[in-house]
A and B are shown apart, each in its own frame.
Chain A
Amino acid sequence: MSRSILLLAVSIFCTSTVRADVDYETDIKPLFEEKCAACHGVLKQEAGLRLDAGSLVRQGGDQGSVLEVDDPASSVLIERVTTTDLGQRMPPDGEGTPLTDAQVQLVMNWIRQGATSPVDEVIIASPAQHWAYQPPVKPSLPSGDSLAGSQNPIDSLLRAKWDAMELVPTPIADPLTLLRRIHLDVTGLPPTLADQNRFLSDASSESWNAIVVGLLDDPAYGEKWARHWMDVWRYSDWDGYKQEVRGSQRHIWHWRDWIVESLNSDKGYDQMAREMLAADEIAPDDMDGLRATGFLVRNYHTSNRDIWLDATVEHTAKAFFGMTIACARCHDHKYDPIAQRDYYAMRAIFEPHRVRTERLPGEANLQLRGLPRAYDADLDVATYLYRRGNEKDQDKEHPIAPGVPDIISVAFDVEPIALTNQAAHPFLRDYIEAEEIARAESELAAAKQRLEKASDPRNAQARQSVVVAEFRLKSLELRWAATKAKIEGRSTASQLAIDAAGTERSSKYQAALLDVLQKRASLEEAKTSTESDEAKKKALVQTREKELAGAERTLVDSSVETLTTDDHFSPLGESYPNTSSGRRLAFAQWITHRDNPLTARVAVNHIWLRYFGEPLVENVFDFGLRSRRPLHHDLLDWLAVELMENDWSMKHLHRLILTSHAYRQSTSSDGISAADRLKNETIDPDNKWLWRGNVRRLDAEIVRDSVLAIGGSLDRTMGGEDIDFVEGETTPRRSLYFRHAYEKQMPMLVIFDAANPTDCYRRSESIIPQQALALANSPLSRDQSRQLAKRLSDEAVDDADFIELAFRTALGRPVRPDESSACMSFLGGQPKLLESLDSLELIDGTAKTLVPASEDPAQRARESLIHVLLNHNDFVTLR
């Protein structure tokens, strides 16, 4: 440890780009990893040379040493990276960009200094030894009292490192800072004044624990955390050109609601993963469960199956087990032990599946309502390897069986799954028959009513309409009876089928007859029309004659049809295979198997990232060989095992984190002595050892939701159809309910780094002027400021009181004296300005507010004050 302290200290004081002192860990190792490790590492050792550890570089390759300490420039290593001979230069042309002069200089300096590296540098002999491929094991917790008496294992593990590093952690943050932090982190909504007062009156550990439990029980927890997982699982509403769906599917919001509900009911993470990948195989008739397969449905791509399946493979692997398998689509993975075959074996898991939309009660039109879901459509479809990833060059000689990379030694056993009748014939759901019959009945009733109202009771058309409706109803009933009898294998099936077929033919004949009657009438109408233009009239008559002739032909055909006696009638709906391949379920079980070393670690890392602002494993979707053993490997493993041991309960993990000292630490180092602060900053300026909290910016959705919540306007209705994103400023629902897809994104959210719908494993936190403009100028923040100002003015006794309440409500913290006096003078001066509006310059705005500004200058100034607080740095910041 003392060595790293020294190195860190050195790196602080040397800031020029090319330094005399070179640090192997920060300067050389990453460079070799990027430029050389693919061919000179654990996976491949071209020329017998490995460059992935300092001692191995010194050791050299088949040709001997590659370093000359006395004359670095003549080192083979330097010669090979600097030569202008493209046949010799490393990295080879096309395999990577050459080293820059500065990088070459760094390597030379390192060689000159003796090419030193830490003696304890981990060298693995085979890829299987990579840390992430080892099963996580709970480290034994350091004995002794943990920090502040905390028994929380997170603190025990961190505490041991702080002690060893001589770091002094910051104390627990003040109650209001903490309360705002936990509310926004867990529910995405700010604490109310009442919440604050309650905690201020009792900020004990017991009280904190109660808050933790209460917030995790709040349904808003599911909404807030659903959005995080929607990022990772690539949630996208349907996208398309006009009405044509090109990506994802209509009504995929059902999946979003399933995520929210599953989180709120604390469904195990493993179970969620299994249902998302294979709910149709686990419980084929469970419509609620089928929503989960939105995870697969989301990858739907209208024009190209390869793109569809590539996305499915790539993102399933990244999201659930941190593997960048997509790199192996065209060639063996350069850095990880994944063969090109492995890529296609994983593709084969998904090859049979397609998406379809189930009809839901109450609406037959699937454009308006329905449940998109995945299912196996074609069990015999083969998967072939695309040579060099080229879909035009498939290796058809060797079909590839479904499989998983060998590096994870967990069994993958595929068993085909027999489905229920209802899954294979979805139209068998009771409500569908009932609704269809009811519709036919109401058509019959309507026809009868028309006949009663007809002026002439002998009106042939009206009478025939009734006959047609009667036949239709009868035909429908018989088709249903026959279909069910057949599926259930009843002995009456064949006779029912003959009856159904016969009635359907009669029904068609009656309908054709009606059509002839109608066409005759319209021809008559044309002939007797008062149209003065003879040519037009003639043309119309000709058209109608043609139509009548067509109808008469159909009538003749259908009457001939009635003479047949076969049992063919039109199906009631689409039928699908009655077996599913079982591949996806096997895969889901492989992913969530207790011995899969990756899954729980990846999940824990995602949750940790959202609480601490930095993940434990830097690249959240790549735990492969390029992912270095994390600094807090012990903590990661402890949490991963803890998650699995507790039935993958995420709420359990949340509770552990939220009750830790680490989560509650102050972000500011004001609470520790100046000497300790300096030491901390020197040893660990980047806070990698978590001796303090990290300041974070609120996510886009939370910014918008907080404005609405503070203004008292937030509509807490949960779930349901996606709302048009253009209503973002006017419909006060939570942000996750608005449509979010390619070309369909709320501008305010985009400005604050909303998830890219195609890929967002981790959000960025930009700071751009458009964010300032959005908060300063949107009608939304203006409206909510006015509303809150009115509410607080009803409570406040005077300006000072108003200011205090305003800070507490908007920023979740008390006002400081200097702030209060600045605000007092604002509330003193601004009304004077506003007294004579006529003398002021009106800005040419066009957007409309819903809440008018107050007529009273003093109140209007208060509105301005609130508006300022919504634009305050601390409003979008978590301390």
Chain B
Amino acid sequence: MNHSVDRARTSQISDRNRRGFLQDLGLGFGSVALASLLQRDQIASADFTVIAPRAKNVIWLFMIGGASHLETFDPKPALNQFAGKTIDETPHGNVLKSPFLENERVVAFDPNNGFIRNEIYPTQVEFRPRGQSGIEMSDWFPHLGTCADDMCVIRSMWTEDSNHGAQLQFHTGRHRVDGFFPTIGSWATYGLGSLNDNLPQFVVLGTPVADCCGGMECHRANYLGPQFDGVPLDIDSETPLPYAAPPVGVYREEQSGEFELLRQLNQMTAQQFPNDESLRARVRSYELAFRMQTAVPGVVRVEDETQATHRMYGLDQPETKTFGRQMLTARRLVEQGVRFVQVYHGSNGGAGQWDSHAGLKDSHSKLCRQTDQPIAALLQDLKQRGLLAETLVVWATEFGRTPGAQSSNGRDHHPYGFSVWMAGGGIRGGITHGATDELGFHAVENRHYVTDIHATVLHQLGLDPRKLAVEGRRRLEKDFGQVIREILA
């Protein structure tokens, strides 16, 4: 509550202070901008222990609706072997007695979804080893397979919510009913600050999570304050950032004249009140805003890229065009120093397209096709530009899907075991970590709750999650998570 990095503070008068201020005003602000200045204050005051960072930026890909681990990154031959049998009829019936089942927290009972399904449903796609490392991935990821040696697949995730509130939970670490909390992207930017003062530091691409499942709270900062909220960019629009352009009919030169007068007038007021730090910060915020107006449209202008790059990301094909453009933009954003780019895939205004209760084969194969080539292109492109080493790419989803069938050709929600992967940013490539049981039911080896991913991301950025706290806002043990040290390069 008392936290406000920029609540108007006053300081003692000193000649140096006054001189420095007037110089600032006279010189404009060059490379020194508000956000990062405030950030530096913040770091000093919060005393974060900074570990040597391995990554500078994060690209966080989130598949909305619950991508099946059993058809993507966690091959389970037993499902084909026992197809049609009930779980009890297999030698693995004990999964239904596991204490892990108690981790599920049902609060909003849904009579249709969110059940353990008993009749084993065979995997809907072949798996094969990829790359030198031989990580097995499904045939729906032919392009991504070529990047296997850069990827670390984590096959032992679990979460609590068996409904789509798990989307929120994946970003805040808290169950939907516990309320709203700062998200991983906001913590990262809160801890680190900006590398480019002309762009927002935490950018959101793609259509966000729907209000059923956490909505904008999946990329907001809650009590950290609006300066750490993820800023959605509508990259297909003329005005990708809200209020980033004046209304119709304003001229560039006209606006420049206005900004110049504003600068002069504020400077005069500043001379009158040399100790008013909030005035100083506000003047800078206008400088930054003015630059953002041109920087943001510039950074999303993928037309600047070569035809070869467009093809690489699949911008030339209808299926991959949308997500490809987002991936390409994500690369351009981190290249420009944006700290955290969160990309949503699969919005349908509700639970999400990945939510395949029926027709899983059709929907998942299509969704994989939409994302496979663009994601592979992103990893390859980052690598060839030497950016992968310092950019951590995370692919995640809110939960996996049941080994048993729902409505004959789909799978239900499955919070007990599922997969995510990471690449770049100091993560060991070409490995898998953790495992589910024979049926892909429970994470049984190296189990990880969602905040372990957060802890690992923050650790790679050089932050100690335990230092990220705000006075008066208690964080629970589970909020911090554990760094997954086994996967660090």
Contacts and interface: CB of A to CB of B under 8 A. Distances in A.
Interface stretch (A476-484, A560-568, A767-775): A767-775
A844 B254 contact: no
Interface in B299-319: none
Specify which of B109, B254, B466 lies most central, judged by the most chain A CB atoms within 10 Å of its CB: B254
B258 A743 contact: no
B51 interface: no
Contacts of B241: 773
Contacts of B253: 833, 840-841
Contacts of A428: none
Interface stretch (B6-14, B405-413, B455-463): B6-14
A833 B225 contact: no
Contacts of A621: 1
A708 to B, nearest CB: 16
A770 B226 contact: yes
A115 to B, nearest CB: 24
A304 B165 CA distance: 14
A303 B108 contact: yes
Contacts of B222: 756
A823 B261 CA distance: 7
B8 A695 contact: yes
A607 interface: no
Given A844-B245, A872-B266, A766 B250 contact: no
A518 to B, nearest CB: 34
Interface in A653-705: 668, 677-678, 681-682, 685-687, 694-697
Given A772-B286, A846-B237, A877-B278, A758 B179 contact: yes
B246 A782 contact: yes
Interface stretch (B122-130, B183-191, B209-217, B355-363): B209-217
B247 to A, nearest CB: 4
A766 B221 CA distance: 13
24 contacts: A304-B107, A307-B177, A619-B2, A697-B8, A743-B216, A747-B242, A753-B226, A765-B8, A766-B225, A767-B6, A769-B285, A771-B285, A772-B286, A772-B288, A777-B243, A777-B247, A819-B265, A826-B257, A833-B257, A834-B251, A843-B252, A847-B248, A868-B262, A876-B282
A268 interface: no
B83 interface: no
Contacts of B237: 846
Contacts of A303: 107-109, 177
What band does the interface of chain B fall in when counting residues whose beta carbon is under 8 Å from A? 35 or more
A765 B2 CA distance: 11
A685 B12 contact: yes
B293 interface: yes
A467 B246 CA distance: 65
B103 interface: no
Contacts of A100: 47, 49
A868 B293 CA distance: 17
Contacts of B34: 767-769
Contacts of A778: 243, 247
B268 A762 contact: no
A687 B10 CA distance: 9
Nearest to B197: A769
Given A765-B278, A767-B6, A769-B35, 6 more contacts: A769-B292, A776-B246, A778-B243, A841-B252, A844-B239, A872-B265
B238 A846 contact: yes
Contacts of A837: 251
B281 interface: yes
Given A100-B49, A773-B289, A877-B278, A846 B243 contact: no
Interface of A: 12, 94, 97, 100, 102, 239, 241, 301-304, 307, 613, 618-621, 668, 677-678, 681-682, 685-687, 694-697, 742-743, 747, 750-751, 753, 756, 758, 761-762, 764-774, 776-779, 782, 816, 818-819, 822-823, 826, 829-830, 833-834, 837, 840-849, 852-853, 860, 864-865, 867-869, 871-874, 876-877
A94 B247 contact: no
Specify which of B211, B248, B264 lies most central, judged by the most chain A CB atoms within 10 Å of its CB: B248
Contacts of A845: 238-239, 245-250
A600 B371 CA distance: 59
Contacts of A694: 8, 10
A274 to B, nearest CB: 27
A110 B44 CA distance: 22
Nearest to A826: B261
Nearest to A748: B243
A771 B244 CA distance: 11
Nearest to B283: A873
Nearest to A833: B253
Interface in B404-455: none
A841 B226 contact: no
Contacts of B239: 844-847
Given A678-B13, A768-B35, A864 B258 contact: yes
Contacts of A865: 261
A764 B239 CA distance: 28
B245 A846 contact: yes
B223 to A, nearest CB: 7
